[in-house]
Each structure stands twice: as C-alpha cells, then as structure tokens.
Amino acid sequence: MPAQPGISLGELAVRFGCTLKGDPDLRVSRVATLENADGASVTFLANPRYRRYLGRTKAGVVVLDPALADACPVSALLAKNPYATYARIATLLHPAPLVMPGRHATAVIEESAQIDATAAVGPHVVIGARAKIGARSVIGPGCVVLDDASIGDDTRLTANVTICQGVVLGDRCVLHPGVVIGADGFGLAPDQGEWLKVPQMGAVRIGNDVEIGASTTIDRGAIEDTVIGDGVKLDNQIQIGHNARIGEHTVIAGSAGISGSAVIGRRCMIGGQVGIAGHLTICDDVVITGQSLVSSSIRKPGYYSSALPVDESTRFRKNAARFRGLDEFVREVRKQRSTGGASQDGAHPDDNGPATDEE
C-alpha cells in the first residue's frame, strides 16, 4: 500500500512538543492562512487581530495557544509559542531544494579557488583566486565571489549576490538577490574643499545562521573588519556602514541605515527605516521602533522611539509650528525660574495647559 502524503498530527505533536486536540492520524501536507486553509493544511494563530477567522477556518490543524483550544473548531496543536512552532512545521513541510553538486559550464572559476565537491555553482558565476566554497553550499546564478573570500558550509547565495575580496561568510547563511558584501565604505577625508578617498583595508566577517535580505549592502571596514554576529537577521534594502558591529541574534527591518563604526548589541530589534548615527553604542536587548533616529548611545535595555506619527494635516502643521518655538519657550521658562517671577497674566510658566486647535 503506497505511503500517504504529508505527515500525521500525532507525529507533529511528538516532534515539536505540542499537545494535540484532535485525530492523531489526520495528515497534513502544506501550510495556509486561517481564511484559505483546507483539510490538508496547517495554519496558526498568534496575532489577536486574526482571531475573528478562527471560528470559521477549515484547516486540518491550527497551531495556537492553549487558552484558545476551546474556540478552535478543528484539530489543534497547542503550543506556548505558536508562531515559532508553526515556523518549524512549515520548514518540515516545505524544505529548501536539495543541493545538486556541480559546476555550470558557464561559470568562470580561478584555478586556485577551493570548491568543495558537494557544492553547487550555478550559471554565469565568477569565483576569484583563492576563494573558498564550503560543503553543500549553493552559489546561485550570476553571483560573484572575489579573491580570498571564504563561504562556509550549507550557505546559499540565491542569485546576483556579490561577495567582495576577503569577506568571510559563515555556515548556514542565506543571502537573497542583489546583496553586496564588502564594497568600500564611505571613507572620505576633507582637504581644502575637496574629498580624498580613504583606502578601505578591512573586510567583512559574518557569523553562522545569518540571513540577509534582497539588495542589502554591508561595507568593508576602513582598517579593522565590519562584523555581523551569529544568528543576525537583516531585512531588504538595509545599509550597514564600515566598521559597524552587530551582535548575535539581532534583527533589523527594511530600509534601516547603520552608520559607520556603530556598535549594536545582542538580541536587539531595529524597526524599519531606523537611522543610527555613527560611532555610538547600543547595548543588548534594545528595541527601536520604526522611523526612529538614534543620535546618541543607548546604554539601558528597553523600548525606544522617536519621530511623529501621521496626523490630520491641519493639526500636524500647527504642532510643527509650536515645535519650532519650543526652544524659545524653554528659554523663557528658565528665565522666569531664575528670577522667581511669573508671567504677565500672573500664571506661572509651568501652568500652561495643553495646546488646542483653536490656539
């Protein structure tokens, strides 16, 4: 009798340490959303915003918190961290393509390059002198690995990735299309109204289990190396300047900019479009919300924000005008405090109530 497709709920429960509510022999073979799942699908509920879809889902099984077990109309895998458990199940059901070792006929490879026999080198790849490619790694179409670069085991360069001279990339990394690692940093010295290029002599060192999103760029160091720690996850279109250091298991969302020589600690979460100035330090376990500007060091773990959220245009313009006058107002308050006086209407400067639209 041929084997049935997919995997049973009983096996999933045992493998991932879940409590199963439902038929252990039911089999699932794919993932789907709560709204669109069918009887052969796994889905999950982690965000309360999607709770409204739970009662009418037709999924084979839902991964969710034990507190929601009674609200689930189908089989459930109960887990303390539903999203992480779902991620592991999805990886099992939808594994990465198998590596097919070999070198495409159009690849250009220097004789001194060292490429493991189990690695795959795709079409139109260029690999420079003394470069090293580890076991089971995949160098996808159009990638360039320049002289003396080193790529670890089980690492995947998907397509059109550029690894510049001397870059060191660890094991089990994933680099998405258009990533550039090790281009020159923005090092310029002013001289009588002109700019002199400062040679960028360092490299980039990237740890294990790092994922780098499409079109993200990481500059080489000016003298010492730019360093990306183990487990760091970078979204698309991030710029990381020369000599920056990012600690282990930090995540950075899209379009963030990290200036040169900034040091970011471990387990930090940096939101989208955050700008971090150069030569400052952010300690471990810091969360910075989207579009914030970090212009000084952060030395205490916690949540940090800046910038103004969107508002109705008329009110925003009024508040912007008041903000421009804030410095003058503070100076007046300090003057009144230093003289012990009161304002002309008899009220103390600190007694001013909140501004209104009518002001």
CA distances from 282 to 109, 199, 267, 270, 275 (A): 41, 27, 11, 11, 13
Angstrom distance (rounded) from CA 61 to CA 77: 7
**N-terminal to C-terminal alpha carbon distance within the chain:** 81
Return mean pLDDT, the chain. Answer: 93
Give me the percent of the chain exceeding a pLDDT of 70: 94
How do residues 1-42 score in pLDDT, each as one tens digit? Answer: 445 689 999 999 999 999 999 999 999 999 999 999 999 999
Torsion of CA 279, 277, 304, 319, to 10 degrees: 140
CA distances from 331 to 34, 328, 334, 338, 349 (A): 57, 5, 5, 11, 11
Please report which confidence band the pLDDT of residue 307 belongs to, taking 50, 70 and 90 as the band edges. confident
127-150: b (≥16 Cβ within 10 Å) or e: bbeebbbbebbbbbbbbbbbebbb
Active site includes 242? yes
In the set 104, 124, 176, 242, the catalytic residue is: 242
- CA-based nearest residue to 246, from 230, 233, 265: 265
How do residues 87-102 score in pLDDT, each as one tens digit? Answer: 999 999 999 888 899 9
Would you state the pLDDT for residue 5? Answer: 80
250 pLDDT higher than 60: yes
Would you state the pLDDT for residue 357? Answer: 38
Would you state the pLDDT for residue 353? Answer: 41
Residue 331: CA count within 13 A, CB half-sphere: 5
Q: Domains (ranges, CATH) in the chain?
A: 7-93 (3.40.1390.10), 102-304 (2.160.10.10), 316-351 (no CATH)
Q: Between residues 343 and 27, which one has the greater pLDDT?
A: 27
- CA-based nearest residue to 270, from 315, 313, 239: 239
How do residues 40-53 score in pLDDT, each as one tens digit? Answer: 999 999 999 999 99
The first and second tokens of residue 323, run together, are 């903000």
304 pLDDT higher than 80: yes
- The answer to whether the beta carbons of residues 240 and 226 sit under 8 Å apart is yes
Averaged pLDDT, 192-218: 97
Please report which confidence band the pLDDT of residue 310 belongs to, taking 50, 70 and 90 as the band edges. confident
Would you state the pLDDT for residue 3? Answer: 53
Residue for token digits 């982690």? 46
Averaged pLDDT, 244-266: 98
- The answer to whether the beta carbons of residues 109 and 123 sit under 8 Å apart is no
344 pLDDT higher than 90: no
Angstrom distance (rounded) from CA 20 to CA 77: 5
Angstrom distance (rounded) from CA 133 to CA 138: 9
Quote the pTM value: 0.86
Give me the amino acid identity at 77: L
Would you state the pLDDT for residue 342? Answer: 52
- CA-based nearest residue to 183, from 216, 230, 141, 153: 216
Would you state the pLDDT for residue 4? Answer: 63
Please report which confidence band the pLDDT of residue 358 belongs to, taking 50, 70 and 90 as the band edges. very low
Q: How many residues does the chain have?
A: 359
Q: What is the H or E stretch that residue 332 is in?
A: helix 326-339
The first and second tokens of residue 328, run together, are 């003058």
Residue 234: CA count within 13 A, CB half-sphere: 33
- The answer to whether the beta carbons of residues 181 and 199 sit under 8 Å apart is no
Averaged pLDDT, 338-355: 52
Averaged pLDDT, 108-119: 98
Averaged pLDDT, 299-314: 92
336 pLDDT higher than 70: yes
Averaged pLDDT, 280-290: 98
